[in-house]
Structure 1
Amino acid sequence: MTRSGGRWRLIVDGAAGGAWNMAVDRAMLVAHAAAEAPPTLRLYRWTPPAVSLGRFQSADDVDLPYCAAEGLEICRRPTGGRGVLHDDELTYSIVAGVADGLPRGVRRSYAVLCEALAEAYRALGVDASLTARDRGERGSGACYLHATSADLSLGAAKLSGSAQVWSGDSCLQHGSFVVDRDVTREARVFMLNDEHTRALERSTATIAAVIGRRPSWDEVTSAVAEAVGRVFSVELEPATLSGDELEMAGRMRQDHVVRSTLT
């Protein structure tokens, strides 16, 4: 790949609601596409736990009464793909573009960005690699029942899913570093039958399960940031969102609400 060099922003956010997290990622993309923000790595978590749906995914894929009873926010991503339960994880988002060393095209850009993610996993003791071929349950609304060449796996077990959207020459990609998984809860959210619940348990892996302990959030954050810096040959500078990005995210938040615990 073409190494970009230079400096990127590193934004390490606290935990926030699902619609807000998605609005922030989208605002960063809009700002970068308008040449009003630098390339950025953002790392964040979710409170309360949330279910994110792909941009065009039906809410019928989710058990809405169960989510309401559990206090789970349901939001819509600006990216495509299937539904994800965001709970015990660190989420990353990368906004960068062709001028920052990202190759054009979905498959090529996924390969470059996932190189950095795989390095982060290896630094944590997980031998991750890009999924060699598509596999899993295509008909389910649950992201982790299906693996594609845009995902990272440990052997036959899916570790991480990512989703992407472009605006001009600028790209947003975001995804999850799952520390631990509550399979029963995830199965209830996506209304999985017993067979698919067993498949979810059998065909996924988490950081804690692989390395035999829970890494700290700081440990995961550092692994991701250092890997992105190495792969893109950039210096990551701690930063915050600009005032314009915060204002834009505030205006966009409602666009990403499917069901909020705040309303």
Structure 2
Amino acid sequence: MAIDETLLESAANQQRCTLRWYQWNQPTISLGYFQKNEAEDSAEIWKDLPRVRRLSGGGAILHHHELTYSFALPGSHPLAKTPPELYVAIHQPIIDILAAHGLQVQFRGVSFRSKSEPFLCFGRGDERDLVYQGQKILGSAQRRRRGAIVQHGSLLLLTSEHASEFPGLLNLADQADRYQRAFLKTLTEDFCQAISQALTIPLESQILTDEELSQSESLEKDKYSVDAWTARK
């Protein structure tokens, strides 16, 4: 999360455009920026899971068997003026690459809301979500800063025992055995190339300057590791 905020700052201050794909080394809940972190939202099965608050909005995400991306876009790019279109611009290449790997996903096409929003993001529905057999397998959220945007997204590949109500894409496709390092590496490389071509801009993938590395380390220590940040409402 600290690296993603650093990349947003670089987009705002230095006009850098960066795409980052990563995974989590343990099951973790990331809270949306504006989301409350209250006891009644904590299922017993989640009580021992670490939590972090991210910059982007939306509901909590249980990061486990997935690929997570962050995309930092400077305010000078035309898509920064139309944030809803950025979702489509990122999601469409993901659709295309998954199709090339035999996984046919599509946009949900309609949004839905309930009076009480579910705690987990995957229980919510937006028209730009990606679905497979009607099940949400990717959702994204954004945060703006001085015209620049960071967009986070989570591609759910396998069902987590901590949220079994949300099936993973490979489980739904009866291809769970594909969840291996080589396949994930190929996917992320293909996603990067397709998104770069779709937006007609060069992307820097997980490249941090010395200044960015120092800034992210400071943010990790002074912000994202502080209980008050995670617990804020």
TM-score range, shorter-chain basis?
Answer: 0.7 to 0.9
Structural mapping, 1:133-212, within 5 Å = 133-135=110-112, 139-182=117-160, 184-186=161-163, 200-201=165-166, 204-210=167-173, 212=175
Work out the CA distance in 1 between the residues paired with 2:202 and 2:173. Answer: 30
SS at match of 1:135: coil
Work out the CA distance in 2 between the residues paired with 1:239 and 1:78. Answer: 18
| Runs of at least 5 residues in structure 1 that lack an aligned partner in the other structure | 1-21, 188-199
Counterpart residue number, 1:102: 79
Counterpart residue number, 2:230: none
| Equivalent residue pairs, number | 220
Structural mapping, 1:14-53, within 5 Å = 22-35=1-14, 38-53=16-31
Counterpart residue number, 1:214: 178
Residues 27, 239 of structure 1: alpha-carbon distance in 2 compared, 3 angstrom cutoff: closer
Taking only the aligned residue pairs, the percentage that are identical comes to 24
Letter in 2 for 1:151: D
Structure 1 residue aligned with 2:194, among 227, 231, 255? 227
Cα offset for 1:205?
Answer: 4.5
SS at match of 1:24: helix
SS at match of 2:208: coil
Which structure shows the bigger proportion of residues in strand conformation?
1
SS at match of 1:34: helix
Residues 237, 113 of structure 1: alpha-carbon distance in 2 compared, 3 angstrom cutoff: closer
Q: Alignment RMSD, CA only?
A: 2.5
TM-score (norm 1): 0.74
1:192-213 Cα shifts (integer Å, max 9, x gaps)? xxxxxxxx34xx5413432624
SS at match of 1:93: strand
Structural mapping, 1:120-139, within 5 Å = 120-135=97-112, 139=117
Paired residues of 1:76 and 1:258 also in contact (CA < 8 A)? no
Work out the CA distance in 2 between the residues paired with 1:73 and 1:44. Answer: 17
Counterpart residue number, 1:256: 224
Paired residues of 2:29 and 2:50 also in contact (CA < 8 A)? yes
TM-score (norm 2): 0.82
| Runs of at least 5 residues in structure 2 that lack an aligned partner in the other structure | 228-233
1:78-126 Cα shifts (integer Å, max 9, x gaps)? 0110011101111111111343452513222222222222223223322
